[in-house]
Amino acid sequence: MLSGEEFGLLFQSFERAAFRLETLAVYDIEDEREEVERFLAGRDMGPGWDDNPWVRSMTDKGKEVSRVHVLRSPLTDYLRYELAAYPGNISAGESIGIIDLVEQTVPGLPDHDFWLFDDRTVYRMHYTPEGAFIGAELLPDHRLAEYQGHRDRALTAAVPFADYWERHH
């Protein structure tokens, strides 16, 4: 299982496309804690908020970054923070869709997060019950088609983020 810096290197080494399926209502990310508190207090979020530099570091190299977030309304405080940050990710070039399980069901999607890189490798993400990242498990090649199918189902069912945000914000 990859964690921390090892996992982070995957975002420098993929060549064309990275897709993420997100499924948790809360992520406990140490590097985000201060920012989440600032957001919840209604304070200024800083320059990276409007154009995410992490996403931009990939899209400026011509790489495609996309995600679908599967969630359930009403939003947790963490999800309010995360979704409020998505416009900055989109400005930086990420494509984001939302599946709200209160509004629709999408049979066959996994109940866990994963990253699919270049349609060649898939990493299942593991978290504690509180949402802290444990590690990313490289799945065997014979599971690749299954996760490509999960991605395709999620992308087909997802509502574009801007449409979702307009209705729910």
User: How many angstroms separate the CA atoms of 24 and 50, rounded?
Assistant: 24
Strand locations in the chain (E): 17-22, 64-71, 95-100, 114-117, 121-127, 133-138, 159-160
Supply the pTM of this predicted model.
0.94
User: How many angstroms separate the CA atoms of 47 and 21, rounded?
Assistant: 26
Is there a contact between 110 and 21 (Cβ–Cβ < 8 Å)?
yes
Parallel/antiparallel/unpaired status of strands 95-100 and 64-71? parallel
Domains identified in the chain and CATH numbers: 4-168 (3.30.870.10)
Ordered per-residue pLDDT tens for the chain, 169 residues: 998 889 999 999 999 999 999 999 999 988 888 889 999 999 988 877 899 999 999 999 999 999 999 999 999 999 999 999 999 999 999 999 999 999 999 999 999 999 999 999 999 999 999 999 999 999 999 999 999 999 999 999 999 999 999 998 8
Is there a contact between 122 and 139 (Cβ–Cβ < 8 Å)?
yes
Instruction: Note the Cα 112 to chain centre separation in Å.
Output: 12
